[in-house]
A and B are shown apart, each in its own frame.
Chain A
Amino acid sequence: MDKKTNLRSKKIAQIRGWIQAAATLLTNIHIPNVFKGQIYQGKAKTVCVPGLNCYSCPAATGACPIGAFQAVVGSSKFKFSYYITGFFILLGVLLGRFICGFLCPFGWFQDLLHKIPGKKLSTARLKPLRYLKYIILIVFVILLPMLVTNSIGMGDPFFCKYICPQGVLEGAIPLSLGNAAIRSALGNLFTFKCLILITVVILSILFYRPFCKWICPLGAVYSLFNKVSLLGIQVESSKCVGCNKCAKACKMDVDVRKTPNHMECIRCGACIKACPTDAIHYQFMGKTCPKKDSCNSQQ
């Protein structure tokens, strides 16, 4: 049984790229809209998608949780975004940063960029930068939209407006290509955000997932639940031979044996694939259970 589940964990880790592709497709299902330069505005847009995926993407299925959070917090009608906070806690407790590794379109984008051959740099020495994303979460997502408001209490979505490169990639660029009217509305802010996007793209080729590690406020939210999330990673110490291959394989700079559910772990399964004795595997609700779907039905 153990052998079998460990193999299944390995299999999941191996098909991660396909799962990411499928998740990206599902979060951006309205593909014809890209050519029309129109945004889908139906009922599904009232629901958030798990990953960082711009609401303004013409193909987007749902709303970006970070964007929605800022919009509600910054609105004069609401003081706090209960619905989205609940959504964060729910997904965080169920999956944690598994979402970053498997479901987030922008994570997949960075993974693909990192596959471009060339010199790769380690981020092991840049660990303090990890805390930047919590500052961004608190300042740009929560405090500024809440506090910097006009006379009738409306704030700007500061993270979306001034930082998020996904917004340019998925929102501004396809919309302006498909729509002449929006092209004429582009200005300095667009240029500034394009520079951010280009920087992130270049860094993503050199480093592994720089945006996820240092900037992403959504990753910061999910990381808070990583230690307690129902889906986790387990290391069987009886099987471990201490070869340290897992720690070397980890691109998020986590030592899975010491901290199997570290806040930075995106559950990508690189360690599971690397382990020569199959000592590492996914678990759900404390049970060694590789497939989250089958686990859900077992509950």
Chain B
Amino acid sequence: MKAKKVLITLLALGTALSFTACNGGTTEKETAKTESAKTESSKTETTNTETTEADKTETVKADTENTETENTGSDTAQITYEETDTDPSDNTSDSELDNLYQQENQLFADHKDAWDKAFGLMSKSSADSSGNYADFLSDTVESNKDSFTDEQYQTLTDDIETIRKIEEQIAELEKKNAETDTSETKTASDDSSPFNNFSGKDFDGNSVDESLFSKNAVTVVNFWFTGCKPCVAELSKLNELNDAIKSMGGEVVGINTETFDGNEDAIKEAASILESQGAKYRNLSIDSDSDAGKYASNIMAFPTTILVDRNGNIVGDPMLGGIDNQDNYDALMKQIQSVIDADSTEK
């Protein structure tokens, strides 16, 4: 009896060790490869990472239903608002600028059907911050000429010419503003936002810098990772949000924390998940030791969504949890609206 018992225990111990050392067939080995970029490739290390990576998901879902983060955002937002409120010097040029943007938006609104179609055809990777916005629009319209009716095409080209003129005026005004303005906004934002010196690459390899934010009144930044179920669940909804706020001067940008430092395998994996969920908005890979990378590494629970204004400042508190929950969606939409409103009064 005793000998038998010892035999069983020894056998079990052996199994334990082989399990622990085992990487579990090809599937696990493949993923282990991607993980090993971060850790040393000793067998236990990689299997260990498996635990953490996956365990993060659990953190998210375990009890709090959704999520949580540090609230570095709130203070930042207040500072920026105070700063902009007590800034009378540029009011005239700002209101002029605002007026011009309004005119553009009015054009989009007047011929909504045609423009919505045109926006739908845009490839985000080709969006270029430099150059006249009208060139970009006409490129899109020209290259998709066949998709429009003659009438639509005519209105679009007319609008684009008007926009070209408006854009030229805007560029001039902005140049003037930049000279007087920089000192103040810089000081306010430099020490407060991790997105001031932003740089990243989209999944097609195009570089992106902080002009990403300056082009839009509000940028919705969604932090996620590939193994996170609630994150993946909201991707299609985020795409919907992106389409909805595009005409309002907003954009959704995804940052996948596994794709840091241009991790090719992780990018491929993330891209395939985005595709499977029908998410077409931009996703960026950033450096883990950049300010934004550090900010993202401090997030404890996913998905976390933040709003960034034109100056690269975080506005309001981070939102935790997916927007596939209607309450969250409405709350986020409300916040987006208020940032856009603030942006237009600011100018």
Q: Which residues of B contact A254 (CB under 8 A)?
A: none
Interface residue ranges of B271-318 to A (CB < 8 Å)? 273, 276, 300-301, 317-318
Given contacts A82-B19, A90-B13, A93-B12, contact A185 B51 (CB under 8 A): no
Q: Which residues of B contact A46 (CB under 8 A)?
A: 48-49, 51-52
The answer to whether B17 touches A90 (Cβ under 8 A) is yes
The answer to whether A182 touches B6 (Cβ under 8 A) is no
Interface residue ranges of A218-264 to B (CB < 8 Å)? 225, 227-230
The answer to whether A82 touches B301 (Cβ under 8 A) is no
For the complex, give the distance between the alpha carbons of A68 and B54 in Å.
7
The answer to whether A71 touches B57 (Cβ under 8 A) is yes
For the complex, give the distance between the alpha carbons of A231 and B208 in Å.
60
Q: Which residues of B contact A77 (CB under 8 A)?
A: 27-28, 31, 50, 54, 227
The answer to whether B300 touches A160 (Cβ under 8 A) is no
Q: Which residues of A contact B76 (CB under 8 A)?
A: none
A127 lies within 8 A of chain B by Cβ: no
A126 lies within 8 A of chain B by Cβ: no
Q: Which residues of B contact A55 (CB under 8 A)?
A: 55, 58-59, 62
Closest Cβ neighbor of A87 among chain B residues: B20
A154: which of B21, B62, B232, B301 is its contact (CB, 8 Å)?
Answer: B232
For the complex, give the distance between the alpha carbons of A197 and B318 in Å.
29
Question: Within the complex, what minimum Cβ distance (angstroms) separates B61 from chain A?
Answer: 5
Given contacts A164-B62, A190-B63, A225-B12, contact A71 B55 (CB under 8 A): yes
The answer to whether A152 touches B273 (Cβ under 8 A) is yes
Closest Cβ neighbor of A165 among chain B residues: B63
For the complex, give the distance between the alpha carbons of A41 and B49 in Å.
12
Q: Which residues of B contact A89 (CB under 8 A)?
A: 12-13, 15-16, 19
For the complex, give the distance between the alpha carbons of A136 and B22 in Å.
27
Q: How many residues of B contact A (CB 8 A)?
A: 59
A188: which of B25, B27, B53, B65 is its contact (CB, 8 Å)?
Answer: B65
A63 lies within 8 A of chain B by Cβ: yes
A72 lies within 8 A of chain B by Cβ: yes
B64: which of A80, A152, A176, A227 is its contact (CB, 8 Å)?
Answer: A176
For the complex, give the distance between the alpha carbons of A67 and B9 in Å.
26
Closest Cβ neighbor of A78 among chain B residues: B28
For the complex, give the distance between the alpha carbons of A175 and B12 in Å.
39
The answer to whether B71 touches A172 (Cβ under 8 A) is no
Question: Within the complex, what minimum Cβ distance (angstroms) separates A78 from chain B?
Answer: 6
B308-347 CB mask vs A (1 if < 8 Å, else 0) is 0000000001111100000000000000000000000000
The answer to whether B301 touches A182 (Cβ under 8 A) is yes
Question: Within the complex, what minimum Cβ distance (angstroms) separates B11 from chain A?
Answer: 9
Interface residue ranges of A14-61 to B (CB < 8 Å)? 37-39, 41, 45-48, 54-56
A179 lies within 8 A of chain B by Cβ: yes
Q: Which residues of A contact B264 (CB under 8 A)?
A: none
Given contacts A38-B300, A160-B58, contact A181 B12 (CB under 8 A): no
For the complex, give the distance between the alpha carbons of A68 and B56 in Å.
9
For the complex, give the distance between the alpha carbons of A179 and B47 in Å.
31
B69 lies within 8 A of chain A by Cβ: yes
Question: Within the complex, what minimum Cβ distance (angstroms) separates B325 from chain A?
Answer: 8
B244 lies within 8 A of chain A by Cβ: no
For the complex, give the distance between the alpha carbons of A72 and B19 in Å.
14
A86 lies within 8 A of chain B by Cβ: yes
B17-54 CB mask vs A (1 if < 8 Å, else 0) is 11111111101100100000000000010011111111
Closest Cβ neighbor of B21 among chain A residues: A86
For the complex, give the distance between the alpha carbons of A63 and B51 in Å.
8
For the complex, give the distance between the alpha carbons of A161 and B66 in Å.
11
The answer to whether A90 touches B50 (Cβ under 8 A) is no
For the complex, give the distance between the alpha carbons of A68 and B21 in Å.
17
A191-204 CB mask vs B (1 if < 8 Å, else 0) is 00100000000000
For the complex, give the distance between the alpha carbons of A99 and B44 in Å.
23
Q: Which residues of A contact B20 (CB under 8 A)?
A: 82-83, 86-87, 90
B166 lies within 8 A of chain A by Cβ: no
Given contacts A93-B13, A150-B232, A179-B71, contact A85 B19 (CB under 8 A): yes
Q: List 27 A–B pairs whose Cβ atoms lie within 8 Å, in order of A's numbering.
A: A38-B70, A38-B300, A45-B52, A55-B59, A63-B52, A68-B54, A75-B57, A77-B28, A82-B24, A82-B28, A83-B44, A89-B15, A89-B19, A92-B12, A93-B13, A150-B233, A152-B232, A160-B62, A161-B62, A167-B62, A182-B320, A184-B317, A185-B66, A185-B321, A190-B64, A228-B5, A228-B8
Q: 10 shortest A-B CB distances, which residue pairs?
A: A182-B68, A86-B20, A86-B19, A89-B16, A172-B63, A46-B48, A71-B54, A185-B66, A90-B16, A83-B47
